[in-house]
Amino acid sequence: MDKKVIKQGYAEIKVKVSGMIQKHKFELKKEGSAFGDYYLLETDQPIIIVELMRVANEIDLPIRAPTGFFFPQGKTPKDFLVKA
């Protein structure tokens, strides 16, 4: 988990949309689960699933967009709990 992203409250990430590389802003949000609160990055821009999966694995944070909700490979909400 990137401490810089948590401190800023957002991340600007380059993603490929319709064959063009664009920079999108992902806001840091806190979401509740049965295990406690955890961080995730959220955008309101529709981005293809393959790119969202790539971003989740690169940034090592869950990603939410209108096209879906993705965790890095092999991780669950337990791995991103907010320290109290």
The model's pLDDT over 16-69, given as tens digits with 9 standing for 90+, comes to 988 899 999 999 999 888 888 998 999 999 999 999 999 999 989 999 999 999
DSSP string, 26-61: EEEEEEEETTEEEEEEE-SS---HHHHHHHHHHHTS
Which sign does the torsion angle of CA 66, 41, 37, 60 carry? Answer: positive
Section 67-77 average pLDDT: 92
pLDDT at residue 23 in the model? 95
Question: Please, which residues have CB within 8 angstroms of residue 7's CB and are 6 or more apart in sequence?
Answer: none
pLDDT score for 12: 93
- pLDDT band at residue 6, thresholds of 50, 70 and 90? confident
Instruction: Count other C-beta atoms under 10 Å from residue 79's C-beta.
Output: 15
Please say if the pLDDT value at position 2 is more than 70. Answer: no
**CA 31 – CA 80 distance, rounded (Å):** 10
